[in-house]
Amino acid sequence: MDSFRDLINKNKWNLSLPLTVRNVVISKELFSDDYVPPALISAEANERVLFLTKPMMKGEDVKRLQRALGFPEGRIDGIFGKETDKAVRDFQRANGLKIDGRAGPATWAELGY
C-alpha cells in the first residue's frame, strides 16, 4: 500500500478508484490509516485450516464456513463432512483457487473473511 500512497501523493496515479485487478477491489478506503485488510482479519478470526479428517472437524468455525458457502440453515451442522468438503472444492474451482478441499487463508479471504 505504501507504493500506491507514494504514487498518489506524487500525482503520478491517474486511474479512477475503485479499481478491480484480478478480482481484488482497490478503493480509497484501502489508503486510510485505520484500514485493516480482510486477509488480516481472516488470519485472526480463522486460525484453524478446515478440511476433511477422521474424526471429522467440528465447531463454530465450521458453521461459519458452511454459512459462507451458502448452506441452507437446516444443513448447517458445524461438522466438516463430505458435503462441506465438496462445497469447499466447488467454491475453490469456481474462484480459481488451488483445489485442495482446505479452507485456509486463501479460501477464507475469497469468501470475504
Q: Which residue range is the domain that position 41 belongs to?
A: 36-113
pLDDT digits over 1-17, tens only?
Answer: 567 677 777 877 777 77
Residues 52, 89, single domain; the answer is yes
Residues 69 and 86 in one domain: yes
pTM of the complete model beyond 0.95: no
Whether the predicted pLDDT of 107 surpasses 90? yes
Positive or negative torsion for Cα 102, 75, 69, 60? negative
What is the count of structural domains for the chain? Answer: 2
pLDDT digits (tens, 9 = 90+) for 41-95: 444 555 789 999 999 999 999 999 999 999 998 999 999 999 999 999 999 999 9
In a shared domain, residues 30 and 40: no
Verify that 89 and 73 share a domain, yes or no: yes
The CATH number assigned to the domain holding 41 equals 1.10.101.10
Q: Which helix (H) or strand (E) holds 26?
A: strand 24-26
Going by C-alpha positions, the residue among 105, 64, 57, 100 that lies closest to residue 81 is: 57
